[in-house]
Structure 1
Amino acid sequence: MRVRDQIYQKLKTEFDPEYLDVVDESHKHEGHAGARPEGQTHFRVELSCAAFAGKNQVERQRMVYRLLADEMAGPVHALALKTRAPGE
């Protein structure tokens, strides 16, 4: 399974999001630190879910990073996050 698909499935299962988009932006980082020739190292995630209601951005990002700890320790070098609660 591709790393993007793993990230998507984990987020979908854990947060039951109102909105979820996971984009592999590895091609934009070729030659940068952490980039690999096969890609799958740099991702942008937009996520809106009820679990984020009443939480600040740092708390929301910590929730995502905890869930994706294995990916962050392995193939993922960078993860750009845009997190919000529904209605924000």
Structure 2
Amino acid sequence: MTEQTIDNSTRIKDMELRLNRELSPSRLEIIDDSHLHAGHAGAKSGKGHFTVIINSEHFNGKRPLQCHQMIYTALGDMMDTDIHALSIKIP
């Protein structure tokens, strides 16, 4: 029996909307890594695995941890309901 493939395009659009609204990024790329985690607990629960590549003027003068917290805040409840794992890259 194979696991059902989940279409995360709606989640990605919602993530983009929230990040654009809160952080006005000069660069934003969201990659769905869920297929790399088939069989993992997060995949079984239906939540996604994503990589976010983002840069924003809001990050100027901030430490990496502060930038990550800003991203988590912007994504809000999605961190509990839709996202199992989030890799963040700030170029």
TM-score range, shorter chain: 0.7 to 0.9
Give the unaligned 5+ runs of structure 1: none
Partners of 1:76 and 1:67 in 2: CA distance: 13
Stretches of structure 2 lacking an aligned partner (at least 5 in a row) = 1-8
31, 36, 55: which one pairs with 1:23? 31
Cα RMSD of the aligned pairs, angstroms, is: 1.7
Q: TM-score, normalised by structure 2?
A: 0.82
TM-superposed CA distance for 1:42, in Å, is: 0.5
Percent identity, aligned pairs only?
Answer: 35
Partner secondary structure for residue 44 of structure 2: coil
Say if 1:61 and 1:83, in contact at 8 Å, map to a contact too: no
Is the contact between residue 25 and residue 43 of structure 1 (CA under 8 Å) also seen in structure 2?
yes
* 4+ long deviations beyond 2 Å: none
Q: Which amino acid aligns with 1:73?
A: D
Q: How many residues align?
A: 83
